[in-house]
Amino acid sequence: MIFTSTSKGLRGELTVPGDKSISHRAVMFGALSKGTTSVTHFLKGADCLSTIRCFRQLGVSIEDSREKLLIHGQGLHGLKEPSGWLDTGNSGTTTRLLSGILAGQSFSSAINGDASIQTRPMGRIMEPLRQMGARIESLKANGCAPLSIVGGPLRGISYVSPVASAQVKSAVLLAGLYAKGVTSVTEPALSRNHTELMLRGFGAQVDICPETHTASIHPEPALTGQQISVPGDISSAAYFIAAAALTPHSEVLLRHVGINPTRAGMLRVCENMGVDLTLLNQTNHGGEPAADLLIRFHDLSGTVIEGDLIPTLIDELPILAVMACFAKGKTIIRNAEELKVKESNRIAVMVKNLSAMGAHITATEDGMIIEGGAPLHGAQIDSHGDHRVAMSFAVAALNASGETQIQDASCVTISYPEFYRDLKSLCQ
């Protein structure tokens, strides 16, 4: 797919698709509840469709109409043994959270996903799940999917996770629904807390200690179906925030975007970089704050992105790297080694592709250093099938001279099937 620059900026308003993390969890927690869960503004991206497909295979009836998704819950012990492999596609969230749920069932199952999933580390969930008594194994020597899970009795543990990962935390807490005793997870920095907030909403007892970044869950709750209205995904909004911030003459309004502080680190970085961004019409449903975001073009300056901020913007680092190329001065991203184990190695892939466009960018062990201000030119971009890489370069191309060709640009269907249409609708 070929992209060219825009000289007149981006103008108009947009409602971005529903939050991916919340959409996945709505299906999973709805499936484990008694009664029906209805979900509006559900994200129909390929990853969340993988979650739906897996839960249908586990005997859950899920109705998909245009305006809402209805999940007819089976209760905590109502899932059925699947007849074949559970295919999680490209979705790390589906693979890891589902593993936690399957560990506590009374049947065996096996999970596999696409080529990217088969390279992503699963030891990080297998280790704590095994401590709980789970029988879970990687069928490959590299500790990745395919995974085989022999469900059985579990015991609660207090797990101190070496990584700030919501997927690890959630896998352990979900197994904790089936364990004997309380299960707690302590992480080095707070990762997104949708699992904790939503499980509480469905009726589980989840205790949170913000000082130690610990979440604990009590087993065997009576979960009840809920009505969930999914806010817009800040990780999808991020591309339009960036596009408007760095393209002259732009003014964009993004409606009803989720701004949960465990997810909205990008807003803090935008403030540090000098982005002209205003929050309007703030709301809060089920502990999930949302707002309209108004972004206008403004000169940007370099910044440092590090420490506890990293898990709150982990998926936004590729587009933040693009923004940094247009900022005055140096941007340093550190403590972000997790980028190497996402849908692609996002340090290597961003540095290679941005360098090809003329950016002054260097990879480090745990991040990148970007000297902003070098003019970008079009190039051949290999997205490596990574949706966030493809979307980042579509934004970079708007401000680069010449043509940019993105290979495998269609991978945006993972989280944002209508991304190119929406981007085009704002370009003047």
Selected binder of ligand S3P within 74, 167, 229, 392 (CB under 6 A): 167
Residue 252 DSSP symbol: E
| Contact stretch for ligand S3P (CB under 6 A) within 162-170, 202-210, 248-256, 392-400 | 162-170
Asked if residues 192 and 2 have their Cβ atoms less than 8 Å apart, the reply is: no
The yes or no reply on residue 37 touching ligand S3P (CB under 6 A) is no
The yes or no reply on residue 242 touching ligand S3P (CB under 6 A) is no
For the window 110-149, what string marks contact with ligand S3P as x by the rule CB under 6 A?
A: ----------------------------------------
The residue assigned the tokens 């506590």 is 104
Least Å from the CB of residue 191 to ligand S3P: 5
Give the span between the Cα atoms of 300 and 193, in whole angstroms. 30
Strands (E), 94-233: 108-112, 135-138, 147-150, 154-155, 158-160, 179-180, 183-186, 206-209, 214-217, 227-229
| Contact stretch for ligand S3P (CB under 6 A) within 161-169, 252-260, 266-274, 356-364 | 161-169
| Contact stretch for ligand S3P (CB under 6 A) within 59-67, 70-78, 159-167, 326-334 | 159-167
Give the span between the Cα atoms of 245 and 269, in whole angstroms. 12
Asked if residues 173 and 200 have their Cβ atoms less than 8 Å apart, the reply is: no
Asked if residues 20 and 48 have their Cβ atoms less than 8 Å apart, the reply is: yes
Active site residue 315: yes
Residue nearest to ligand S3P (CB): 21
Least Å from the CB of residue 41 to ligand S3P: 16
Give the span between the Cα atoms of 394 and 3, in whole angstroms. 7
Give the span between the Cα atoms of 86 and 28, in whole angstroms. 14
Inter-CA distances, 63 with 8, 72, 118, 414, 416, Å: 43, 8, 30, 21, 21
The yes or no reply on residue 109 touching ligand S3P (CB under 6 A) is no
Residue type, 399: N
Least Å from the CB of residue 118 to ligand S3P: 16
Structure tokens at 202: 């469905």
Least Å from the CB of residue 382 to ligand S3P: 21
Structure tokens at 323: 């923004």
In the bound state with ligand S3P, the residue whose beta carbon lies nearer, of 109 and 191, is 191
In the bound state with ligand S3P, the residue whose beta carbon lies nearer, of 165 and 214, is 165
Please state, as a whole number, how many other Cβ atoms lie within 10 Å of the Cβ of residue 223.
23
Selected binder of ligand S3P within 187, 196, 338, 382 (CB under 6 A): 338
Inter-CA distances, 198 with 40, 195, 287, 332, 337, Å: 15, 5, 9, 34, 28
Least Å from the CB of residue 329 to ligand S3P: 28
Selected binder of ligand S3P within 6, 21, 38, 94 (CB under 6 A): 21
Instruction: Find the catalytic residue in 315, 382, 386, 422.
Output: 315
Using CB under 6 A as the binding rule, the residues of this chain from 188 to 207 that contact ligand S3P are 191-192
- List of residues 6+ apart from 61 with CB closer than 8 A: 71, 72
Using CB under 6 A as the binding rule, the residues of this chain from 56 to 95 that contact ligand S3P are 93
Residues in the interface with ligand S3P (CB under 6 A) total 11
Chain residues that interact with ligand S3P, rule: CB under 6 A:
21, 93, 165-167, 170, 191-192, 314-315, 338
Residues designated as active site: 315
